[in-house]
Amino acid sequence: MNGIWDPKKLNVNCSGRDVSGMSQADGFFKIEPVTKEYILSQVGIKGDWNISEIYDGRVKLSIVLMGDSPENELFFAMGEGRLPCVFTIKDKSDGGMLGFSAQGRVWERPNIEKGKEYKDKTWVFLLPDYKGVLTA
């Protein structure tokens, strides 16, 4: 593993359609857990305590697209229709990953901005049933 990430080796697919036009800005792709904790601990008034295990596999997927990406129209229509999307994520870089969700939905839509140049658009999806693994 050489520690160099190659964005060209990242493939994101939404219901059979490759997501194209991803921004080349830093942080254009991010997966973060909705609940970051694996356990929850509580203490009672007498010092008694308990630990609860949390099994929350939901993740938030953020994708930054260039303003003229054709997927902006697709994601806007999905959000307006509250339609799910089957997401597959493959990163073949060193230290890459594989991920899947059958019920991805638009969670946050971007602002609509017009100016001299197209503005990047950040789409945020909720993947409630995400399963992913890191690869070497």
CATH number, position 86: 2.40.30
Could you tell me if residue 2 is inside a domain?
Answer: no
Non-local (6+) Cβ contacts of 14 within 8 A are 71, 74, 75, 78, 85, 86, 87, 104
Q: Read off the pLDDT of each residue in 45-58 and give the average, rounded to a whole number.
A: 95
Q: Read off the pLDDT of each residue in 48-72 and give the average, rounded to a whole number.
A: 93
Query: By residue range, what is the domain housing residue 118?
Result: 7-134
Could you tell me if residue 76 is inside a domain?
Answer: yes
Non-local (6+) Cβ contacts of 94 within 8 A are 1, 2, 3, 4, 5, 136
- When pLDDT is cut at 50, 70 and 90, the band that residue 53 belongs to is very high
Residue 24, pLDDT above cutoff 70: yes
Could you tell me if residue 35 is inside a domain?
Answer: yes
Could you tell me if residue 84 is inside a domain?
Answer: yes
Residue 2, pLDDT above cutoff 70: no
Which candidate, 91, 80, 92, 106, places its Cα nearest to that of 14? 106
Could you tell me if residue 80 is inside a domain?
Answer: yes
Could you tell me if residue 42 is inside a domain?
Answer: yes
- When pLDDT is cut at 50, 70 and 90, the band that residue 1 belongs to is very low
Could you tell me if residue 104 is inside a domain?
Answer: yes
Could you tell me if residue 1 is inside a domain?
Answer: no
Does residue 107 contact residue 125 with C-beta atoms inside 8 Å?
yes
**Whole-number pLDDT of residue 3:** 59
What Cα–Cα distance (Å) separates residue 89 from each residue in 1, 14, 134?
20, 9, 11
Instruction: Tell me how many domains the chain contains.
Output: 1
> Structure pTM?
0.83
> Taken in order 36, 133, 97, 135, is the CA torsion positive or negative?
positive
Encode pLDDT of 94-126 as tens digits. 778 889 999 999 999 998 877 787 789 999 999
**Whole-number pLDDT of residue 31:** 92
> Quick one: 32 exposed, middle or buried, by C-beta within 10 A (0-12, 13-18, 19+)?
exposed
Q: Read off the pLDDT of each residue in 6-15 and give the average, rounded to a whole number.
A: 86
